[in-house]
Structure 1
Amino acid sequence: MPVTAILIRSQDHVATLTGSVAAGDTVLITGQGEPREIVALGDMPAGHKLAVRPIGQYEQILKYGEVIGEATDDIAEGGHVHVHNCWGVKARRHS
């Protein structure tokens, strides 16, 4: 049985993993919309975010239907969305 990831809002770009996955594992996306499967592109721990669609560099990332950050690199569907490829926009101060 594949690990699941929960999609909170249908417009979200990421789903939250309910268990850890290894590269190549199938992840069942549940929550909003029809369940579907995505292949994890890398190892990821439980509780981390999995891209449910491609996210372009500098694109805002949605979770909970809200902007939670901005991609610093292109992120493919099935990619790990974390501090190595995005930054939070709410806590950033503009000079």
Structure 2
Amino acid sequence: MNRDAIVIKESDNVATALHDLPHGQPASVGIGDETISVILVGDIELGHKFAIRDISRGQNIIKYGEIIGRATDHIAKGAHAHVQNIESLRGRGDLS
């Protein structure tokens, strides 16, 4: 099966698009040997992230098994996860 996006670790809550993905379409997301389908609620550009499950405001964003940021707003399953709804937790200097 062709995959539209990938998830590296099962703990990840975002996937990375392998090509441009249109709003309203199901995306085939590879997680290891499994594939899940996620209906996209917005256009997702190549290389960008989208939520593979609902992410609550304040919840960690996990990509490649690592915390890469925190949700600044609710991110619905299938929604674009980017600077408009994620704050970085890396290299800030104000967090311990």
TM-score over 0.5 for the pair: yes
Residue 65 of structure 1 deviates from its aligned partner by 0.7
Q: Share of identical aligned residues, percent?
A: 38
Task: Give runs of ≥4 in structure 1 deviating > 6 Å.
Answer: none
- Superposed CA deviations along residues 25-52 of structure 1, whole A, max 9, x for unmatched, are 1100113252111111001111000101
Residue 92 of structure 1 deviates from its aligned partner by 1.9
Tell me the matched-pair count: 95
Letter in 1 for 2:12: D
Does the CA contact (< 8 Å) of 2:3 and 2:30 recur in 1?
A: no
Distance 1:2 1:39 in 2: 16
5+ residue gaps, structure 1, are none
Letter in 1 for 2:27: V
5+ residue gaps, structure 2, are none
TM-score, structure 2 length as denominator? 0.90
Partner of 1:19: 19
Distance 2:27 2:21 in 1: 8
